Amino acid sequence: MNAAIKSSKTRFAERLQAVDGHVTTVQSPTAAARAVKTILKDGGAERVAVDACDTLRALDLPKALGSNKIEWILGSADKNELATCDAGITSADFAIADTGTLAFLSGKGLSRSVSLLPPLHIAIVPINALVEDLDTVLAQVLDAGEMPSCLTLVTGPSRTADIEQVLTIGVHGPCALHVILLKN
Amino acid sequence: MSPEGFKTRSAQALRDKHLGQAINNATQRFAEARVHAFSDEDELNALREQGRQIKDAALHNLPLLLHRLEQQVTARGGRVFHAADAQAANDYILGVARRKYARIITKSKSMTTEEIDLARILEEDEIEVVETDLGERIIQLAREKPAHIIIPAIHKTRKQVSELFHRKLGVPKSESIDELTKAARATLRKKFLQANIGITGGNFLVAETGTLVIVENEGNARLTTALPKTHIAVVGIEKVIEKMSDLPTMLKLLTRSATGQRISSYISLITGPRRAGEPDGAEEFHLVLLDNGRRRIHRDAKLREVLRCIRCGACLNVCPVYKLIGGHAYGGVYPGPIGSIVTPLLGNENTGTELPSASSLCGACKDVCPVKIDLPRLLLLLRARLANRAPAGLFEQIAFKAWALAMGSPRRFALARKVARKFYRLTSGRVPYPLSGWTESRTFPEPAEQSFREWWETEHERRH
Mean pLDDT of A155-169: 94
Mean pLDDT of B107-112: 96
Nearest CA among B114, B138, B129 for reference residue B311 = B114
Write the residue in B219, B267, B270 that is nearest to A153 by C-beta: B267
Query: What are the backbone dihedrals phi and psi of residue A41, each rounded to the nearest 5 degrees, phi first?
Result: -65, -45
Nearest CA among B206, B203, B215, B213 for reference residue B266 = B215
Using a CB-CB cut-off of 8 Å, the residues of chain B touching A139 are: 245
Using a CB-CB cut-off of 8 Å, the residues of chain B touching A73 are: none
Nearest chain B residue (CA) to A15: B262
Strand order in the sheet with A130-131: A130-131, A94-96, A101-105, A150-154, B266-270, B211-216, B204-206, B240-241
d(CA A75, CA A66): 19
Cβ <8 Å between A150 and B270: yes
Look at strands A87-90 and A71-74 and give their pairing.
Answer: unpaired
The three-state (H, E, C) secondary structure of B141-199, written as one string: HCCCCCCCCCCCCCCCCHHHHHHHHHHHHCCCCCCCHHHHHHHHHHHHHHHHHHCCEEE
pLDDT exceeds cutoff 60 at B22: yes
Q: ipTM for the complex? A: 0.96
Q: What is the DSSP letter of B305?
A: G
State whether residue B295 is helix, strand or coil. Answer: helix
Taking CA atoms, A58 is separated from A64, B208, B250, in Å, by 10, 36, 38
Using a CB-CB cut-off of 8 Å, the residues of chain B touching A113 are: 226-227, 280
Q: What is the DSSP letter of A26?
A: E
Mean pLDDT of A22-51: 96
- State the pLDDT confidence band at B463, using cuts at 50, 70 and 90: confident
Amino acid at B159: K
Using a CB-CB cut-off of 8 Å, the residues of chain A touching B157 are: 164
Cβ neighbors of B350 (< 8 A, separation 6 or more) are none
Largest CA distance in chain B: 101
Nearest chain A residue (CA) to B266: A154
pLDDT at position A1, please?
Answer: 47
- State the pLDDT confidence band at A175, using cuts at 50, 70 and 90: very high
pLDDT at position A4, please?
Answer: 56
Answer whether CATH 3.40.50.10420 is correct for domain A3-182: yes
Cβ <8 Å between B219 and A149: no
Architecture of the domain whose range is B58-292: 3-Layer(aba) Sandwich (3.40)
Cβ <8 Å between A171 and B218: yes
Using a CB-CB cut-off of 8 Å, the residues of chain B touching A79 are: 193, 227, 280
Q: What is the DSSP letter of B116?
A: T
Helices (H), strands (E): how many in chain A?
6, 12
Cβ <8 Å between B269 and A153: yes
Contact by Cβ (8 Å): B51, B305:
no
Nearest chain B residue (CA) to A161: B151
pLDDT exceeds cutoff 60 at B2: no
Chain segment B196-212, per-residue pLDDT in tens: 999 999 999 999 999 99
Sorted by where each begins, the domain ranges of chain A are 3-182
Contact by Cβ (8 Å): B221, B200:
yes
Cβ <8 Å between B222 and A110: no
Query: What are the backbone dihedrals phi and psi of residue B398, each rounded to the nearest 5 degrees, phi first?
Result: -65, -45
Nearest CA among A137, A58, A26, A33 for reference residue B244 = A137
In percent, how much of chain B has pLDDT > 90?
Answer: 78
Nearest chain A residue (CA) to B147: A162
Using a CB-CB cut-off of 8 Å, the residues of chain B touching A120 are: none
The three-state (H, E, C) secondary structure of B219-251, written as one string: CHHHHHHHCCCEEEEEEEHHHEECCHHHHHHHH
d(CA B326, CA B167): 26
Chain segment B142-191, per-residue pLDDT in tens: 999 999 999 999 999 999 999 999 999 999 999 999 999 999 999 999 99
Cβ <8 Å between A134 and B251: yes
pLDDT at position B230, please?
Answer: 98
d(CA A31, CA B58): 49
The three-state (H, E, C) secondary structure of A106-149, written as one string: CCCCCCCCCCCCCCEEEEEEEHHHEECCHHHHHHHHHHHCCCCC
Cβ neighbors of A166 (< 8 A, separation 6 or more) are B177
Sorted by where each begins, the domain ranges of chain B are 1-37+307-390, 58-292, 394-463
Taking CA atoms, B355 is separated from B1, B10, B245, B366, B388, in Å, by 10, 11, 37, 17, 16
pLDDT exceeds cutoff 90 at B443: no
pLDDT at position B236, please?
Answer: 98
Nearest chain B residue (CA) to A166: B177
Write the residue in B158, B227, B265 that is nearest to A159 by C-beta: B265
Pick from A31-35, A109-113, B3-7, B379-383: least confident: B3-7
Chain segment B47-99, per-residue pLDDT in tens: 999 999 999 999 999 999 999 999 999 999 999 999 999 999 999 999 999 99
pLDDT exceeds cutoff 50 at B247: yes
Nearest chain B residue (CA) to A105: B269
Nearest CA among B48, B43, B57 for reference residue B370 = B48
pLDDT at position B3, please?
Answer: 53
Amino acid at B158: R
Chain segment B332-356, per-residue pLDDT in tens: 899 999 999 999 999 888 889 999 9
Look at strands B266-270 and B211-216 and give their pairing.
Answer: antiparallel
pLDDT at position B435, please?
Answer: 72
Mutation target vs A (from B211, B215, B266, B287; most A CBs, 10 A cutoff) = B266
Cβ neighbors of B257 (< 8 A, separation 6 or more) are B34, B310, B312, B313, B314, B368, B370
Chain centroid to Cα B92, Å, comes to 25
Work out the burial of residue A106: count CB atoms within 10 Å of its CB; fewer than 13 is exposed, 13-18 middle, 19 or more buried.
buried
pLDDT at position B1, please?
Answer: 46
